Amino acid sequence: MTYHSPQNFFLVFKMDALVDLIYKTENNRAIIYLYLIQKILKDENFKPYFYVELNNNNIEKIEEFLKKNNLSHYVESIEVVKKQIINKEKEVLKIITKHPKYVPKLRILKEFDEVLDIYEHDIPFAKRYLIDNKIIPMTYWDFEKNKIKSRGIPKLKAIAFDMEVYNRNSEPNSQKDPILMASFCAEDFKKVITYKPFNHERVEVVEDEKELIKRIIEVLKGYDIIYTYNGDNFDFPYLKKRAEIYGIKLNLGRDGEEIKISRGGMHLRSYIPGRVHIDLYPIARRLLHLTKYKLEDVTLELFGIKKLEVGHQNISKLWEENDEKLIEYSFQDALYTFKIGEYFLPLEVMFSRIVNQTLFEISRMSSSQMVEYLLLKNAFKNNIIAPNKPSNEEYQRRLKESYEGGYVKEPIKGMHEGIISYDFKALYPSIIISHNISPDTIDCECCKDESEKILEHWFCKKKEGLIPKTLRNLVERRMNIKKKMKEKAKKGEVDNEYKLFDYEQKSLKILANSHYGYLAFPRARWYSKECAEVVTYLGRKYIQETIKEAEKFGFKVIYADSVTEDTEIIVKINEEIKFLKIKDLFKNADYTIGEKEYYALNNVYALTLNDDGKLVWKRVPYVMRHKTNKNIYRVWITNKWYVDVTEDHSLIGYLNKKFVEIKPCKIGNAYLIILDKSTLNTYNFVKVKKVEKINYNGYVYDIEVEDTHRFFANGILVHNTDGFYAVWKEKIDKDELIKKVHEFLDMINSKLPENMELEFEGFYKRGIFITKKRYAIIDENNKIIIKGLEFVRRDWANIAKKTQKAVLKTLLIEGNVDKATKIIQNVIDDLKKGKVNKEDLIIYTQLTKDPKEYKTTAPHVEVAKKIIKKGGRLRIGDVIGYIITSGEKSISDRAKLPEEAKDYDVEYYIENQILPPVLRIMEALGVSKEELKNFGKQVTLDDFFTINKNK
């Protein structure tokens, strides 16, 4: 094969596309190999390097240190260069080495007293090449003019590949279980190759497994892109081990190289030099939100097709019986892997172009990793040195950091009609750009006395930061593309170019929206808790100021209030438990929204009760105070024990065996929850002695408690809200309402900063609101949108999801509460009578760590241990399916694999699967648990105490 250096290559080929890139060692030198569609290039001139920051740039001292430690022969040259480190320009040393493998050896420089730090020593050499050079992967490139020649996706030959292996009722063992067949699907090749005759049109028969392996290699070498589904971790590692038994090398690379299987994080990476192996499993997990990610699940989600399943445990039986169903199953594996690959390829190509890394690498990156490599590229362009990745110690420290998240209003529970939805257009990216929020702009010396202080920080006004600049580019590119798409759509030109524009704008949107998350990502180079905190603070500020403007405009805003200043609260400050008056937490007003003053808190936690009824400590991001004209009520528990609250502040009561929110003047027969302050680990239920109105003219206070929104005030559990809902001040028809909405939008958007815009998202005819982040709404076309309710989560059985879906559909479309109640009652009745499908009872839970590492047991952990004991293979991230069977043992012990479950625990499924997802909805509409269970007699609180007393 003929190679060309970049210098004379430009004269030979004017246009080609970069498919892959690696480096190889030749004569102890690292040579970059560029795999194009038509040729392979070599670049012998690019050298590995890193930077050293010194007290003073004394090259002689560095050279002396290198010589003393016998390291000089690793260094090609040393240069003094000017670079920006965070927000300061400095002279640093650029150490150019003879080979990438020498860079780790030279990290010993960090131990030299004169060295402050070393940078960019951990960027892989091949990735470094793409960071430093203009060439864009997966793009037709004009090598003569060094620019893009065509926007079209390069025409590459793609094939999907899958294998079936012998399965002895356990996880296949590559040392003894043979490969039975390999299936392929490409536009020009659709075959299942095996060494046993089957009555199927797709079959190609070879002599034996050895010949099958050779044929697999032969077929795959004819293609540029190879799609697999979990090929990184199964197909290629298994194929390699079986090939080794026969002394066959998997020389699948474009230049005859062997496949390289290495570990990348928790998973394996199967890399074929010069070809693009795209494992679709991690892509599906990144881009889709499913309960399970088996090939069958993704096929159903994307194409609405139910793929043939035979069960891995049945493969050996089908093989022995020469059942053609096995061939069809195997071929469908390849067919739908190919379809999924073609579906995702354009989007992955766009990510590759924007981030400027190869398609192989991009397809295995998380959103945060893509953002990081985009920032590395732009840092190089802007002469900025990238910060180092955190050490393990620093990573653990970052994990413990927390800050207040985005603002979420507390809705009024129940069913509402005529709902207007507003949304900020790209809120966080807009805030980052508008306020120039970036680790290299925060607290700069040049603007200390000029810039507005936000949470005691300020941002540079003289130089745009790396992250805002990167984001601005992404946002502006997307706006221009959307404009072109709009023009083409007007002309009716929804062609291939339009589709490419659509893929590009989607990838730009994903990357832009990932930047805020990247700032808060503990492993990020440009991590900044302070920047992330300011972004969410400003998000809350703009939302709440918009609410205030809405009220002025004519919307009526209603919100809950607070407790009086002498109310005692229990907090933990820097791990020390304190009993304080709530007013003592408030030092000064960090910011004001409307009439409310806020003081931000750090490392403050309040004792609260979680949704499971357990006492826990939860973070308190701020304390708020304001004046009020509302009535103040004193709620007496004993002759000496009380709490003072505003008229609409909720207390947490206990009524009909459930926790409820109640106003001070509507306590009735409910019990309140009081804390045993001597131990802080138990609580009791008590009746209220009396409630009286009192005179009070001071400030009232509230604290935000993360997750629970509850805290103990004078030892009595109360609920805090800082939310609102808005309605127009008088009843008007839909057309008039929407006219008012647009008038308000014109007004508010004229006041918001540049790049920030409030949009009218839609009109919804009906909605059910449960609590923060939990609601369901329906538009005029009967499209249902659900947020935070259980059937979008994987850890609920299908019967729970189906029931909740049917209930919501009935409530939202028909508004019929009685019919919804009957649906739930019928499902419970069917459960009791055994009239349910086994598949609907399977619960799916993800393994978040090795089963041996769990300190406490859980159903999915016990099932995972059983799978491993039988020889099965599991990895972190796998989803375990199980059914809870009947019996006297613990729930974890009664969790069985679906195929092993002979019955099910009726009461468990009623109480833990059917009722929880619908109970919150129905209670918000005034229907009790007892009514849903169709009980004639309700169990009273007295009955509850009697039952527990007799246990």
Residue spans per domain, the chain: 1-46+137-147, 158-355, 389-470+513-558+724-786, 560-722, 787-949
Amino acid code (one letter) for 172: P
Percent of the chain beyond pLDDT 90? 41
The answer to pTM > 0.85 is no
Question: Which segment of 103-117, 291-305, 740-754 scores lowest on mean pLDDT?
Answer: 740-754
**Would you state the pLDDT for residue 80?**
92
Which range has the worst mean pLDDT, 152-156, 684-688, 856-860, 946-950? 946-950
Per-residue pLDDT band at 936 (split at 50, 70, 90): very low
158-355 is classed CATH 3.30.420.10: yes
pLDDT of residue 850: 77
| Digit-coded pLDDT (tens) for 310-338 | 877 788 899 999 999 999 999 999 999 99
CA distances from 896 to 170, 865, 878 (A): 16, 11, 17
Choice between 821 and 415, residue whose per-residue pLDDT is larger:
821
Does position 948 have pLDDT exceeding 70, yes or no?
A: no
**pLDDT value of residue 745:** 83
| Confidence label for 639 from pLDDT (cuts 50, 70 and 90) | confident
**CB distance 705 to 711 below 8 Å:** yes
Q: Higher-confidence residue: 602 or 582?
A: 582
Rounded average pLDDT over 926-949: 52
| Contact assessment for residue 586 and residue 701, using Cβ atoms and an 8 Å cutoff | yes
- d(CA 191, CA 193) in angstroms, rounded, equals 6
Q: Residue 85: pLDDT above 60?
A: yes
The domain 560-722 is classified under which CATH number: 3.90.1150.10, 1.10.150.170, 2.170.16.10, 3.40.50.10490? 2.170.16.10
- Average pLDDT for 144-158: 87
Fold: same for 158-355 and 389-470+513-558+724-786: no
The CATH-assigned architecture of domain 389-470+513-558+724-786 is Alpha-Beta Complex (3.90)
Reported confidence tier of residue 706, pLDDT bands at 50, 70, 90: low
Residues 395-428 have pLDDT tens digits of: 888 877 765 554 444 555 667 666 666 666 777 8
Number of H helices, E strands in the chain: 26, 45
CA distance 436 to 921: 42
Residue 785 predicted with pLDDT over 80 = no
Q: Can you give the pLDDT at residue 731? A: 66
Banded model confidence at residue 675, pLDDT cuts 50, 70, 90: confident
Phi first, then psi: what are they for 246, rounded to 5°? -95, 5
256: Cα separation from own chain's centroid: 39
User: Which CATH fold would you assign to the domain 787-949?
Assistant: Topoisomerase I; Chain A, domain 4 (1.10.132)
- What is the mean pLDDT of the segment spanning 758-764? 72
C-alpha–C-alpha distance, residues 719 and 772, integer Å? 13
Q: What is the pLDDT of residue 337?
A: 97
pLDDT (0 to 100) of residue 805: 87
pLDDT of 514 strictly over 60 = yes
Predicted confidence at residue 703, as pLDDT, reads: 82
User: Rounded to whole angstroms, how far apart are CA atoms 237 and 261?
Assistant: 7
Could you tell me the pLDDT band of residue 676, with boundaries at 50, 70 and 90?
confident
DSSP 114-144: TEEEEES-SS-HHHHHHHHS---TTSEEETT
C-alpha to C-alpha distances, 128 to 47, 79, 104, 267, nearest whole angstrom: 10, 18, 15, 23
Look at residue 531 in the predicted model and tell me its pLDDT. Answer: 92
Using alpha carbons, select from 312, 351, 352 the residue that is nearest to residue 330. 312
Res 334: pLDDT: 97
Question: What's the confidence (pLDDT) of residue 637?
Answer: 84
pLDDT of residue 724: 36
49-58, 270-279, 660-669, 923-932: least confident range:
660-669
Considering the chain, what is the average pLDDT of its residues?
A: 84
